[in-house]
Amino acid sequence: MWQLGRLDIDVELRPETSGSQVLDPAPSPATAAARLWVVPWIALTALAIVVLAVVRRRRTTKLRRRTDATAAASVI
């Protein structure tokens, strides 16, 4: 499921040494918090494409009906 709205993120960093590495002074853990707005752009783009396709199809059908009616009226 895609997130829509405000997203709260908490990050905790705990530094570790590799192998026999010794750090003096040892780094202390750190935390950070962030808040951001999340928008599912792929889903919104897909929805916009579907809506535009429906609108375009309706307009094309309406125009075709008008053209057919005009052509039928001019033949008589």
Q: What is the pLDDT of residue 1?
A: 59
- Lowest mean pLDDT of 23-27, 38-42, 51-55, 61-65, name the range: 23-27
Q: How confident is the model at residue 23 (pLDDT cuts 50, 70, 90)?
A: confident
The rounded distance, in Å, linking the Cα atoms of 51 and 14 is 48
Is residue 42 within 8 Å of 4, Cβ to Cβ? no
Q: How confident is the model at residue 73 (pLDDT cuts 50, 70, 90)?
A: confident
Q: What is the pLDDT of residue 60?
A: 94
Instruction: Please report, as a single letter, which amino acid is at residue 28.
Output: S
Q: Residue 63 half-sphere exposure, CB side, CA atoms within 13 Å?
A: 6
Note the pTM of the prediction, 2 decimals: 0.50
